[in-house]
Amino acid sequence: MVQRALRLIQDGALDNGSVDDLSNRLGIGVRHLSRLFAQHVGASPATVAQTRRLHFAKRLLDDTHLPITAIALASGFGSIRRFNDAFRVAYRKSPRECRKGGRARGDASGDAEITLRLAYRPPYDWAQVHAFLAKQAIPGVEAVTASSYARAVRTASGHAILQIQPVESAHALEVRMQGAMPAELPLLLSAVRRMFDLTADPARIAAVLYDDPLLRPLIGSRPGLRIPGTWDPFECSVRAMIGRHISLAAGTALLGRLVERFGEPIEPIVTNITHLFPTPAALAEASLEALGLAGTRHAALYQMACGVRDEVIRFDAPSEEVTRTLCGLPGVGRWTAGYVELRGLGEPDAFPFGDLLLRRRVSADEKPLTSLELEARAERWRPFRGYAAFHLWSGEQQ
């Protein structure tokens, strides 16, 4: 519960919301949340959120040319005075005094490219994440080169282009952002952290999974394995509904046609990136029959898009509620819901119920386990069933 709360705070849950809102999303009371944080973190949720904002502001001061006023806004402070006061208390200096020489100039527009580094705990298997994203890349929205990943994303002010690649001789990924306003940086970087699984603790994950003799050699060969995510849960849901029970190539081709017909065209700053992924409203109003989807799949996609558009389906709700809502759609089962939890919400214990490849990999003979037998077998992998699934999937590909 604390880990989930920390992830939500990292995603900016307390930048525009209250601790009451956070506790409601977690499905627990404010007093219980406060007790958990006091016991396991040693600080209140509000203190953790403010520390996060100040650390982010310090990085922007050190690594960008953004004006201090823009940095205050980007860091979630409502006023420059409140930002200055909090910064001085934390660092014993004003933001201007902390700024390195030669970085005082700048503008707050989204025209300039902003480059930041996001650290991770080593080891990190960039080759595994890069290869997975390359195979799954949506034509027109994503582009993967030999050393980088790039995509177009929708922002409050329009759109931005993100390019991500590893930093040599450093435990970090470099994120280059073009077209983003300063206030949009926290949400963009939070999505990058989740998509590239940068907050994972490989040692802790290995300690839990290493006792299983089936997983032990897989962990040894891929100690830095991560769960490659998607940009947001809605996009992940569309991917899962379209790609279920068809080949990866066929699913990718369908997604490409979906983007071409219903996505928003943009000026191609990066080669082959020409569209934004369709919005829920666009798909709710689209004629999806032309894509050639089966009836139940078409109905599920339409109802899901309408539900997200009308805020009946809320991906910021507790993951259990998201699962129940998705499973209530026609033709959508626990596998799809688990996949969205795993790659769209970044839940490390999410599990694709009944996955045939996993049922085969875990079976002691040629007969696959039943879905219920697989679920029972996976209990020993908690709270990292998602990592176990990816180890088994990756092991099958080796």
Rounded mean pLDDT, 138-166: 96
Euclidean distance between CA atoms 68 and 74, whole angstroms:
10
Q: Which two tokens stand for residue 334?
A: 């626990």
The pLDDT tens digits for 334-375 are 999 999 999 999 999 999 999 999 999 999 998 999 999 999
pTM of the predicted model as reported, rounded to 2 decimal places = 0.89
71 strand-pairing partners: none
176 strand-pairing partners: 115, 163
pLDDT at 309: 97
Rounded mean pLDDT, 384-391: 97
- Domains delineated in the chain: 2-98 (1.10.10.60), 233-263+278-397 (1.10.340.30)
The most confident of the ranges 30-44, 151-165, 314-328 is: 151-165
Q: Which two tokens stand for residue 324?
A: 């129940």
Q: Which two tokens stand for residue 18?
A: 């209250």
Euclidean distance between CA atoms 63 and 61, whole angstroms:
6
pLDDT at 277: 98
Among 40, 51, 31, 34, smallest CA distance to 3 is for 40
The band of 137, judged by pLDDT with boundaries at 50, 70 and 90, is very high
pLDDT at 98: 86
